[in-house]
Structure formats: C-alpha cells, structure tokens
C-alpha cells in the first residue's frame, strides 16, 4: 500500500459478518467513540432474518459535516467471516481498503483495492479468547483514525461495568493491541485519514429511530403499550418496556396482534393513552380493531414499522409498501390520520403529536416508519421539550351525558367510566347518541355524517409538506417518510438551482396545497421504496394529477445517496 494516502472530510466504514459475530457491536461502540471525539456519525445496518449465520453488514459513516444518510461507497471494509466479502462485493471499489483475517479476504473482487491481512482473532486469543475479537477490531479502527484510545477505554469501562475487573481490563488491553496494529499500518503503509472535529458534537446524543419513536410516545403521555413482538417494530416495545418503571408505563406483551389492539382500545376507553406497535403482518390482524376504533370513536395510536411483504416477505429489510394498508385498513368509512416521519427529529415530535391528535379528534392515528429509520442512528441535538404538552380532552360527565351527542364538528366531548356521574356507553354496532344499539336508518346516516365531519375539523391540524430548495423550481422531487435525508443530500450533490424537493411527513389527510406545488413544476419525480408508487396513486386520486416520472426501489434496501444522484440525473 505504498504511497496510498487518504485525505478526506469523511469515511465510510463497513463491518461484514455472520449474524451473532458482533458487527453491530463494533459499529455501536465506535459510533459513540467517534461522537465523543467530535465527529458526526451515521450508522445503519442490513441483516438477514436469522439469529446465527448468513451475512450481515453494518455501515458507519464518519464526517466533519452533518450526515444523516447512507452511501454506497466503502472506504474501509472489515470482513469478520468467510462469506463477508461476497456479501458486499458489489460495493467494493479500487479505493476500498480491506483489513481482515487471511482466510476471510481475497483480491478477486477488485483489481487495485488494497487488501491486508490482520489477525484480529489471533490477537484476541493471546489476550484471553476469541470473544475479544470485536474489541481488537474497534481498537484497530481507532489506530487508523489516529484517535486516542482514551475515548474507547472510557466507553468500555461503562459498557462492562457490571462485569468483573478482569473482563474490563482484557477489553481495554484488546483495544490497545488493536490500536497499535492500526497505527502500525498507518506508519508503514502511508495511510492518512484527515477528518475535522467539532467539539460541540460531544454534547449531542446518538439515538436510532426506535428510540426516537419511543421517546416521542413518552413525551406524548403514553402510559400503556401492548404488542406482539414483530420485526422491525419490536425495538419500540423494548425501549418502552426498559423505561416503563421510570415513566409509569404498563407494558403488555399480548398473545397476538388482535389482542394487542383491543387491549389498547380498552386502555383509551378507561382514560389511559395507549400505543400498539407492530409491523405489516400484525397491522393486517389489527384491521378489525382499527375499524372498531372508528365506530366507537375511541382514540388509539398505532406504530406501523414497515417491512417488505406480502406475507412474511423480508422480515429484516425495509420498504414503504404499507401506505395503502394503513390508508384503507378497517371496513367501513371513518376518519384517520397517517404520519410518516422523515428523520429522527420528526420521529420524536410526530410520535408525541400523535397522542394529542388522537385524543383531540377521537380517531386512530398511525405512525408509519420502516426498518431503515428504526435501525439507523446519528447524532442529534437533545430534543426541545419546552413547547410540548400532553393535551387531554377528557371531561367530567353529568347525569345527562351522551357519549355520541351530535355536535357541529362531529366531535363529542369524551367521558370515561368513573369520572363524573354519567354513563359512558359504547357499542361496536351502530348506535344512537347514548350508545345504544340501533337500526334506525335515519340515525345511521346521522352517525356516519357525524364521524366523517371530523375530517373538516382535522384540516386545522394537517402538517404542510416541507419545500426544500428554490421556490422557482422547474423540477420537483417528491417523497414521503424516511427518504427525507437521502434526497436532501442527493440534491446537495446535484447542486442545481432549478431543482426543489417536497417532503410529506403527514400523508393523510393530504394537504390541500399539494396540487399547487405540482402544477408549478415542469417535471415532477416521485421517489418511493415500493413497486407501485403508492403515494403517487394517492396524489392522483385526491388531485387528479398524474406523476409520470418515478424512482422506485423495492429490493429490501434503502436508497443510497450516490444511487439517487445517478437516477435523478438520468431523468432531468
């Protein structure tokens, strides 16, 4: 590797291994270390749906500037298993540096890329066992980056604080041995990685999408969660369970998703603020419960973590294939709200907002995420809680209380059992104002109209789409949900003064100004992670505008920045 010098403002590190080998652990540890050292980081992963074996990879992007998206290019690759290189072979370029066990690396995937054997496991065995291999590799990267091991040592002490002193010391020794090896490569083979630091980053936090959603739910007053574990939604359940005692959250792992949604409805009926978290297959089972929420006008918040279907599909991959499922789930006609956060900040604030909106309008609110945002991490400022509030709309009832009394906006003040003197009756059959079952046809029409009137009221709280770029655009990019940061960075790299981007974090009800944005553009390009462009179909249904140009991806991976740059360039 003589004369090989890397000088850049960022680097993309990739760790590839079998499930269970700890590539995720290395990435998580180093992300925290780099952040504490003053670097911006973005971390994401892709994994096969197995506990052991297969082939997984973890990307850790380190930069002097803010980064919130993944890139295709690999600068440094650490393979930890025999099939690792084959798994990421298409991403290896002549500029990729590969360090790993001799039996795990090969030059057949590139003609000029630099491949060097590093006996990580051999060093680990000398220290105390192969279990320390990941710590050796982490230390090696620290050496390559010319970072003091003190950052890593402090983190290891905290991470293994509950372990014996011997384990802590051996992990520190492993890190130092790896660090020395990394420094040796830098010196002997003339490797230089120069990334500017920012001291203010040290005070920021690193979280992933699951944590952001969970924190938002707590900020929204969530005090009950019911779920049947299902990837990739389980992270939210785990987070709320881990913090349940501190925040007085009742956590119920239900026997199935049908029970989960019905328990959550019962919690709201009793006055709690409940969440049901699931993925596409579980949401399909919840449809009858969602329809029940529409009929009994009970608030409910549902987190739908999208993954590729149909059926089990690709349970550990990502897709935006459940928009239509969420839009039409449940028989009959009733109002609903769909949020689709685009970044970690929106994941927090929209999850918080979901509880207030559900309570205010007495409708089901679904938070649409996906595996990509839930499993991606980066550094952010601590969330601003100063203007957030838990808005409750429960009233104390009197003797004449009618749970479904007709009102001008369709929203009847909501009472709960035991709070006041009134009787809070409800039924899944059509009912009159007091909640008694009825088959009176006139009453039926009035009740349907009453429920649908809420759409007019909801107009006051629709979140407008965010326009990024010039107002006098010729080409307009359109996306919803988690493609926000990927498209933003692609736009920066394209650097065109007539290109703008319209992002939707609320996909239903659709904002009424949508058509104005579309008609202003000479060309509109829809970007979605599904095969049929579901959001483009929704826009055509609501506005009559047909979007001709689409960039669609549905292989289970999110878009990469370079990929979008190329595809957008081809269309414009």
Range 195-221 average pLDDT: 95
- Alpha carbons 195 and 135: distance in angstroms, whole number: 23
pLDDT band at 110 (very low <50, low <70, confident <90, very high): low
pLDDT band at 13 (very low <50, low <70, confident <90, very high): very high
User: What CATH number is attached to the domain comprising 335?
Assistant: 3.40.50.970
Question: Do residues 509 and 458 make contact, with C-beta atoms less than 8 angstroms apart?
Answer: yes
Of 168, 203, 238, the residue that ends a domain is 203
pTM value is 0.95
Per-residue pLDDT at 1: 42
> In this structure, are 226 and 361 located in the same domain?
yes
Top pLDDT among 230 and 161 is at 230
Give buried/exposed letters for 243-272 (b at 16+ CB in 10 A, else e). ebeeeebebbebeebbbbbbbbbebbbeeb
pLDDT digits (tens, 9 = 90+) for 406-459: 999 999 999 999 999 999 999 999 999 999 999 999 999 999 999 999 999 999
- Alpha carbons 210 and 233: distance in angstroms, whole number: 8
Asked if residue 389 belongs to a domain, the reply is no
What percentage of the chain exceeds 70 in pLDDT?
A: 97
- Alpha carbons 479 and 76: distance in angstroms, whole number: 31
- Alpha carbons 397 and 395: distance in angstroms, whole number: 6
Distant-in-sequence, close-in-space partners of 560: CB < 8 Å, separation ≥ 6: 70, 71, 72, 486
Asked if residue 508 belongs to a domain, the reply is yes
Per-residue pLDDT at 95: 85
> In this structure, are 68 and 161 located in the same domain?
yes
475-480 vs 274-279, strand pairing mode: unpaired
Per-residue pLDDT at 439: 96
> In this structure, are 372 and 264 located in the same domain?
yes
Per-residue pLDDT at 4: 56
Closest CA relative to residue 120, chosen from 110, 108, 131: 131
Per-residue pLDDT at 158: 83
> In this structure, are 73 and 27 located in the same domain?
yes
Q: Looking at the predicted structure, is the pLDDT value of residue 5 above 90?
A: no
> In this structure, are 277 and 237 located in the same domain?
yes
Asked if residue 527 belongs to a domain, the reply is yes
Question: Do residues 285 and 257 make contact, with C-beta atoms less than 8 angstroms apart?
Answer: yes
Of 172, 203, 234, the residue that ends a domain is 203
Range 274-294 average pLDDT: 98
Asked if residue 330 belongs to a domain, the reply is yes
Closest CA relative to residue 521, chosen from 458, 572, 562: 572
Q: Which of the residue ranges 61-75, 85-99, 555-569 would you say has the lowest mean pLDDT?
A: 85-99
Chain centroid, CA 404 distance in Å: 37
User: Looking at the 3D structure of the chain, how many domains does it have?
Assistant: 3
3-state DSSP of 369-395: EEHHHHHCEEEECCCCCCCCCCCCCEC
> In this structure, are 39 and 149 located in the same domain?
yes
Per-residue pLDDT at 165: 85
Can the peptide bond before residue 509 be classed as cis, meaning omega within 30 degrees of 0?
Answer: yes
Q: Looking at the predicted structure, is the pLDDT value of residue 11 above 90?
A: yes
Helix (H) / strand (E) element for 474: namely none
> In this structure, are 175 and 213 located in the same domain?
no
Asked if residue 331 belongs to a domain, the reply is yes
Range 192-212 average pLDDT: 92
Asked if residue 566 belongs to a domain, the reply is yes
Per-residue pLDDT at 39: 94
pLDDT band at 84 (very low <50, low <70, confident <90, very high): confident
Q: Which of the residue ranges 111-125, 193-207, 343-357 would you say has the lowest mean pLDDT?
A: 111-125
Mean pLDDT rounded to a whole number for the chain? 93
Asked if residue 1 belongs to a domain, the reply is no
> In this structure, are 240 and 199 located in the same domain?
no
> In this structure, are 246 and 352 located in the same domain?
yes
> In this structure, are 176 and 215 located in the same domain?
no
> In this structure, are 123 and 172 located in the same domain?
yes
> In this structure, are 183 and 246 located in the same domain?
no
User: What CATH number is attached to the domain comprising 499?
Assistant: 3.40.50.920
User: What CATH number is attached to the domain comprising 152?
Assistant: 3.40.920.10
Tokens (6 digits) for 450: 């009453």
Top pLDDT among 368 and 165 is at 368
**Total residues belonging to the chain:** 572
Domain assignment of residue 308, given as a range: 207-380
Per-residue pLDDT at 109: 67
What percentage of the chain exceeds 90 in pLDDT?
A: 76
Of 380, 406, 434, the residue that ends a domain is 380
Question: Do residues 142 and 182 make contact, with C-beta atoms less than 8 angstroms apart?
Answer: yes
Tokens (6 digits) for 468: 């990024």
Range 97-112 average pLDDT: 78
Closest CA relative to residue 454, chosen from 414, 415, 416, 407: 407
Instruction: For residue 565, count other CB atoms closer than 10 A to its CB.
Output: 16
Query: Degrees (nearest 5) of the Cα angle 537, 297, 422?
Result: 170
pLDDT band at 3 (very low <50, low <70, confident <90, very high): low
pLDDT band at 6 (very low <50, low <70, confident <90, very high): low
- Alpha carbons 456 and 469: distance in angstroms, whole number: 31
Q: Looking at the predicted structure, is the pLDDT value of residue 376 above 80?
A: yes
Range 58-77 average pLDDT: 94
Distant-in-sequence, close-in-space partners of 393: CB < 8 Å, separation ≥ 6: 359, 360, 413, 414
Q: Is 292 left (phi over 0), alpha (psi -120 to 50) or beta?
A: alpha
Closest CA relative to residue 458, chosen from 342, 334, 349, 346: 334
- Alpha carbons 359 and 364: distance in angstroms, whole number: 9
Asked if residue 443 belongs to a domain, the reply is no
Give me the residues paired with residue 369 across strands.
305
Closest CA relative to residue 341, chosen from 349, 333, 330, 331: 349
97-100 vs 499-504, strand pairing mode: unpaired
């Amino acid at each position: 590797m003589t004369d090989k010098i890397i000088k850049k403002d960022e680097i993309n590190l990739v760790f590839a291994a079998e499930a269970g080998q700890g590539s995720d652990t290395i990435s998580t540890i180093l992300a925290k270390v780099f952040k504490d050292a003053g670097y911006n980081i973005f971390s994401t992963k892709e994994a096969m749906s197995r506990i052991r074996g297969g082939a997984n990879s973890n990307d850790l992007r380190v930069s002097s500037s803010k980064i919130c998206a993944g890139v295709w290019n690999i600068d440094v690759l650490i393979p930890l298993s025999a099939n690792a290189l084959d798994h990421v072979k298409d991403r290896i370029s002549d500029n990729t540096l590969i360090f790993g066990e001799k039996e795990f690396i090969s030059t057949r995937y590139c003609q000029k890329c630099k491949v060097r054997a590093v006996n990580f496991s051999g060093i680990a065995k000398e220290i105390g066992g192969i279990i320390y291999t990941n710590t050796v590799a982490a230390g090696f990267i620290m050496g390559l980056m010319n970072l003091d091991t003190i950052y890593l040592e402090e983190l290891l002490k905290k991470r293994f604080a509950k372990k014996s002193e011997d384990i802590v010391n051996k992990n520190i020794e492993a890190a130092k041995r790896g660090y020395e090896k990394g420094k040796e490569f830098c010196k002997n083979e003339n490797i230089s990685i120069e990334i500017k630091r920012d001291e203010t980053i040290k005070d920021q936090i690193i979280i992933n999408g699951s944590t952001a959603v969970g924190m938002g739910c707590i900020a929204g007053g969530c005090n009950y969660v019911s779920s049947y574990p299902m990837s990739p939604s389980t992270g939210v359940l785990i987070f709320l369970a881990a913090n349940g005692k501190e925040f007085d959250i009742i956590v119920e792992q239900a026997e199935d998703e049908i029970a989960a949604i019905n328990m959550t409805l019962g919690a709201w009926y009793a006055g709690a603020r409940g969440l049901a978290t699931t993925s596409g297959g579980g949401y399909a089972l919840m449809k009858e419960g969602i329809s029940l929420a529409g009929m009994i006008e009970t608030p409910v918040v549902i987190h739908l973590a999208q993954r590729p279907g149909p059926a089990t599909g690709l349970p550990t991959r990502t897709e935006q294939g459940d928009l239509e499922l969420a839009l039409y789930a449940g028989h009959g006609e009733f109002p609903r709200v769909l949020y689709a956060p685009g970044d970690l900040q929106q994941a927090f604030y929209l999850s918080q907002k979901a509880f207030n909106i559900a309570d205010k309008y007495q409708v089901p609110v679904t938070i649409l995420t996906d595996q990509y945002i839930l499993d991606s991490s980066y550094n952010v400022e601590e969330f601003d809680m100063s203007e957030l509030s838990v808005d409750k709309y429960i009233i104390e009832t009197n003797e004449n209380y009618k749970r479904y009394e007709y009102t001008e906006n369709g929203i009847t003040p909501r009472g709960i059992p035991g709070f006041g003197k009134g009787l809070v009756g409800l039924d899944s059959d059509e009912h009159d104002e007091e909640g008694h079952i009825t088959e009176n046809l006139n009453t039926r029409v009035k009740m349907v109209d009453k429920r649908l009137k809420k759409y007019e009221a909801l107009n006051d709280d629709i979140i407008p789409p965010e326009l990024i770029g010039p107002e006098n655009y010729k080409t307009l990019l359109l996306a919803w949900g988690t493609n926000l940061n990927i498209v933003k960075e692609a736009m920066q790299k394209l650097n065109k003064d007539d290109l703008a981007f319209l992002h939707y974090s609320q996909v239903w009800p659709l904002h009424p100004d949508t058509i104005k944005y579309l008609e202003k553009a000479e060309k509109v390009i829809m970007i979605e992670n599904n095969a049929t462009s579901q959001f483009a179909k929704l826009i055509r249904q609501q506005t009559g505008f047909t979007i001709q140009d689409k960039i669609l991806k549905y292989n289970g991976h999110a878009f990469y920045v370079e990929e979008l740059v190329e595809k957008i360039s081809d269309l414009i």
